[in-house]
Amino acid sequence: MRYDANRISAPGMYLFDPVSPQLQVAAVSHGGRRAAWFVKGEFGDGVLRHYRRGGLMARLSSDRYIWTGPARTRSFAEFDLLHFMHDRGLPVPRPIAAAYWRHGFTYRAAIVVERIFDVQPLANMLDAGNHEKVANAIYAMHEAGVWHSDLNAYNILLDKEGKAWLIDFDKCKRLTLSLERRSANLLRLRRSLVKVAGTAGLSWWGELNHAYALLTRVKGLL
């Protein structure tokens, strides 16, 4: 288990138990593969997520992963990456706690991150979303050397002030980001926006890509 000692004085596995009497819990209604909950405890408000497989692998096991060492568990890897990003002022949720349960050659895992209030996914906010603010958030992530494995219209949240937040860093990595890798990340977002909103999504991505390109040119001149 890993946890933020500034937020948690009495760590325990209750932090990852959605039926724990030590937590106030409400199920997340959308996303999370029915394994995510809004939770409240001494640490404040958070989101608890149990790691679940998707796709064909879920038919073999919905929540078990191959054991390759503590640092490579999904929960510890995401916790450490979020800690790195949050310390650098990037717009990501603060990590609160992470854990894994080993069972021989497999393990299960869970994480708790700080809840961001009054946000909507970009998928629901294209008319109000600010291209420059979203581009800035993605560019800052890339400049920090972070590659997002699933940059889509639901993993970018916009708050009431229009600030863009990036979430869901499961399987994401710190890499040396070439222009090709940056472009591939943005193209993944384009596919998501087209799937969500068709030609309107494509148009929105075009404005976003233009804003990102301007940042690249401006920063390159500094």
Question: pLDDT, tens digit, for every residue of 61-107?
Answer: 678 999 999 999 999 999 999 999 999 999 999 999 999 999 999 99
CATH topology classification for 2-114: Phosphorylase Kinase; domain 1 (3.30.200)
Which member of 150, 159, 168, 170 is catalytic? 150
pLDDT exceeds cutoff 80 at 54: no
Between CA 32 and CA 19 the distance in angstroms is 17
CA distances to 6, 62, 72 from 97, in Å: 11, 22, 16
Quick: pLDDT tens for 141-162.
999 999 999 999 999 999 999 9
Q: Enter the tokens of residue 113.
A: 């991150």
Domain 119-221 has CATH 1.10.510.10: yes
pTM, to two decimals? 0.92
Domain positions in the chain are 2-114, 119-221
* 127 among known catalytic residues: no
Contact (Cβ atoms closer than 8 angstroms) between residue 76 and residue 66: no
**Helix intervals (H) in 108-161:** 131-143
